[in-house]
Amino acid sequence: MAPLATQQSKVGKIANPPRPSPNSRKYAQVRVREYLLPIEVESMRDALSKASGRHAHRDSTLILLMYRHGLRVAEAVALRWEQIDWSSGNLHVKRVKQGTPSTQPLYGEELRSLRKLQRDYPASPYIFQSARHGPLAKDTVSGIIERAGELANHTGRSSAASVASVSVDWAHN
């Protein structure tokens, strides 16, 4: 028969202090601001266009709409063509996280980009679709934004703030 294991006495034990959360730093300690400037977004879009990947226009349009309409990743991947009112130039946004749905105007550059996207990807009801004609995965969108930030940062056209680090946090919200 195996000997029974005895439990150590709790007398004299020192309690371990609670570990700090890895997210316990304030954002102000990490970076000065939590948003991208219009010039930084344009440099991200230009960098994607110059990288000329297979989905460069789709990725550029994704970044444009997310930035101008304040879309979360989940809201962007869920966008469908039926949410665009072409006659009035409006986008109907269904918000997540108890957000209030809204109707927002689309401007010239956005409308032109969306029309080109519709010509390039006609087979799916989703605006931003994968190669398999389904909606993009959230991880894919985060990767697109991270890649755009890195490309823009390496081209030397970003401002003093690190576009890549701000855009990665922006993508994960």
Determine, yes or no, domain membership for 31: no
**pTM higher than 0.85:** no
Q: Which of 151, 170, 154, 161 is nearest to 45 (CA)?
A: 151
Determine, yes or no, domain membership for 105: yes
pLDDT, tens only, 129-156: 988 888 999 999 999 999 998 888 854 4
Residues near 97 by Cβ (< 8 Å), separated by ≥ 6?
72
CATH number for the domain harbouring residue 45? 1.10.443.10
Determine, yes or no, domain membership for 88: yes
pLDDT, tens only, 67-125: 999 999 999 999 999 999 999 999 999 999 888 999 999 999 999 999 999 998 887 89
3-state secondary structure of 129: strand
Determine, yes or no, domain membership for 14: no
Tally of domains in the chain: 1
3-state secondary structure of 72: coil
The boundaries of the domain holding residue 162 are 36-171
